[in-house]
Amino acid sequence: MRHNFGAGPCILPQEVFKQASRAVLDFKDGLSILEISHRTPEFEGVVEEATKLVKELLNVPSGYSVLFLQGGASLQFAMVPMNLLPEGKTAAYLETGVWANKAIKEVKFFGNANIVASSKESNYTFIPKDYTIPEDSAYFHCTSNNTIYGTEMFTLPVTKVPVVCDMSSDIMSRVIDVSKYDLIYAGAQKNIGPAGLTIVIVKDEILGKTGRGIPSMLDYKVHIEGGSMYNTPPVFSIYVAMLNLNWLKSKGGVAEIEQENKAKAEALYKEIDRNPFFKGTCAVEDRSRMNVCFVMENPELEKSFAKFADDNGFEGLKGHRSVGGFRASMYNALPITSVHALIDLMQTFEEKQK
Ligand code: PMP
C-alpha cells in the first residue's frame, strides 16, 4: 500500500472506489452508470442527492444555488467576471499565488482587476492582512487555500462588497459560513470527487446585473434554470462526488473532519519544526492544513530524502516546481496513519544521518 500525499487529483476513500466500480458494472437493472441517460429518474435522483449533500454539509442558506459544472476551476476564472463584472468596471483581487494570478488574467476581457494586496515579493509565503477593498468594487476575489505554496486564509476581510472565493483545495475540509460569501467555486478533484466536475455555490440575487449578453453555457442563470442539466453533465464525476459526500456525512460531516484535519496538520508541522533536517516555508499563522510545504535545511539532502520516501511507499510528496522541496497534501480521505508514517519516515531519516 502506498501513502498518497498527492496534491490533486488525490486520494479518495477506498470504499468510494469500491462503490463506484460496482456502479460501473451495474447501476440499474444490469446497466452501467456509464451507459444510462442523464435524463433517467435514477440519474436525476443522483443530482438531487448530490445537491442536497452539498447544501447539508456546508449548511448552505436559502437564496443560494448549487451547480455542477465542467471546465474546472480555471473556467470559473473567466465565468466569474463575465457574470458579475459590468463592462469597464473594477473588481478587487487578492494576489496569493499562481491560481489567483490566473484568475486575475481573465478579468481584462470584461473589465479591470485591482490587486488590493499581494504576497508576490515573498513568493507567496503568507496571506496579506492589512488592505482595504474599495467600496465601488464589483466584487472581491480571494483564494482560500493556495495549493502550491501551502497557505490558507482562515479569516475573511470585512467588506460590503460581494465576496467570491476559489475554494478548490479546502472546500469541505473545515466549517465555513456560506452566508459570508456570494459565490464559491471549486474544482472537484480534491475533497469532492474525481476531476471533470466543478462546484459553484452562488447567491442568486447577485446574478443578471452586468447588462452583458452571456453565451448559454457560460451563464450561471442558464445552469440554475436547467438544474445543472442544461447539457449532458459529467455523469460519472457527479455520481462519485455523491458517494464521496455521503462518505463525509457518514463520518460526521465537515465539523468532524475539520478536527481530524487539524490533528493531521498539527502533528506534521510539529515534526517539521522539531526535526533539524526540515523547515516549513510559510508564515506560521497562515499554514495550510491541506498542503504542508517544507524544504530541507541542507538542500543537498533533498534527493536522498525523496528517494527514501519513494522506496518506503510515499506518493506525491514532491513540491511544486515554483517552490521546490516537498509538499504533503492531506485531504479529507488521507488517514492520520499515513501522516504518522511520514513523521516516522522523517525521524528515521534524521537517525540515519547521525
Ligand atoms: N484553484 C486552485 C486553488 C487550485 O488548486 C487549482 C488546481 N489544483 C485550480 C484553481 C485549477 O483547477 P482546475 O485544474 O480544476 O481548473
Residue pLDDT, tens place only, 275-288: 999 999 999 999 99
Question: What average pLDDT does the chain have?
Answer: 97
What are the angstrom distances between the C-alpha of 91 and each of 183, 209, 291? 14, 14, 28
- CA–CA dist 76, 128 (Å, integer): 23
Residues 281, 171, single domain; the answer is no
Q: Length of the chain, please?
A: 354
Residue 106 shares a structural domain with residue 188: yes
Q: Which residue has the cell 446574478?
A: 207
Q: In 3-state terms, the chain is what percent helix, strand and coil (to 5)?
A: 40, 20, 40
- Cα–Cα distance measured from residue 317 to residue 173, given in angstroms and rounded to the nearest whole number: 20
CATH of the domain at 94: 3.40.640.10
Judgement on whether residues 235 and 276 belong to the same structural domain of the protein:
no
Q: 151 and 235, same structural domain?
A: yes
- The ligand 1 site (C-beta within 6 Å) comprises 8, 72-74, 99, 143, 147, 166, 168-169, 187
Residues at the binding site for pyridoxal 5'-phosphate are: 73-74, 99, 147, 166, 189, 231-232
Pair (43, 66) in one structural domain: yes
List pLDDT tens digits, range 185-218.
Answer: 999 999 999 999 999 999 999 999 999 999 999 9
Judge if 40 and 91 occupy the same domain: yes
Res 313 pLDDT > 90? yes
CA separation (Å) from 27 to 35, 39, 181? 9, 15, 36
Ligand 1 centroid from CA 269, angstroms:
24
Minimum CA distance residue for ligand 1 atom 2: 168
Domain around 120: 14-250
Backbone angles phi, psi at 25, to 5 degrees: -85, -40
- Specify whether 170 is located in the same domain as 261: no
Give the Å distance between the CA of 77 and the centre of ligand 1: 10
- The residue whose CA is least distant from atom 14 of ligand 1 is 72
Smallest CA-to-CA distance from 138 within 117, 159, 169, 109 is with: 159
Atom of ligand 1 nearest to the CA of 198: 15
Out of 99, 173, 197, 320, mutate this one to test ligand 1's pocket (max ligand atoms within 8 Å of CB): namely 99
- Specify the pLDDT at position 354: 84
In the residue annotation, 170 being an active-site residue is answered as: no
Type of residue found at 16: V
User: What's the grid cell of residue 276?
Assistant: 533539524
Q: Which residues are annotated as a binding site for L-glutamate?
A: 39
Q: How far is CA 44 from the centre of its chain?
A: 25
Atom of ligand 1 nearest to the CA of 7: 8
Residues 215 and 326 in one domain: no
Interval between CA 209 and ligand 1 midpoint (Å): 27
Q: For 347, how many CA atoms within 13 A lie in the half-sphere containing its CB? A: 11
Q: How far is the CA of 353 from the centre of ligand 1 (A)?
A: 38
166 is catalytic: yes
Residue 297 phi, psi dihedral angles, 5° rounding = -55, -40
For 260-270, what is each residue's pLDDT tens digit? 999 999 999 99
Q: What is the ipTM of this complex?
A: 0.99
CATH of the domain at 290: 3.90.1150.10
Please pick, among 190, 219, 264, 286, the residue that the annotation labels catalytic.
190
Q: How confident is the model at residue 46 (pLDDT cuts 50, 70, 90)?
A: very high
For residues 198 and 271, state if they share a domain.
Answer: no
Query: In terms of domains, do 265 and 286 share one?
Result: yes
- Number of structural domains (the chain) is 2
Inter-residue long-range contacts of 259-267, CB under 8 Å, 24+ positions, other chains counted: 260/332, 260/336, 261/173, 261/174, 261/289, 261/290, 261/330, 261/332, 262/289, 263/336, 264/289, 264/330, 264/334, 264/336, 264/339, 265/289, 265/292, 265/330, 267/336, 267/339, 267/340, 267/343
| Residue 348, C-beta contacts closer than 8 angstroms, at least 6 positions apart | none
Q: pTM to 2 decimals?
A: 0.98
**Residue 59 sits in the same domain as residue 102:** yes
The last residue of a domain, from among 198, 218, 250: 250
Q: How far is CA 207 from CA 4, 72, 158, in A?
A: 40, 20, 22
What is the residue with the minimal CA distance to atom 5 of ligand 1? Answer: 147
270 with 282, same domain: the answer is yes
Give distance in angstroms: CA of 141 to centre of ligand 1: 15
Question: Which residues make Cβ contacts (< 8 Å) with residue 337, sequence separation at least 6?
Answer: none
Last residue of a domain, one of 224, 250, 276: 250
Last residue of a domain, one of 201, 223, 250: 250
- Is 253:57 a contact under the CB 8 Å cutoff? yes
99 carries an active-site annotation: yes
3-class DSSP state for residue 26? coil
pLDDT at 177: 98
The protein residue whose alpha carbon is closest to atom 3 in ligand 1 is 168
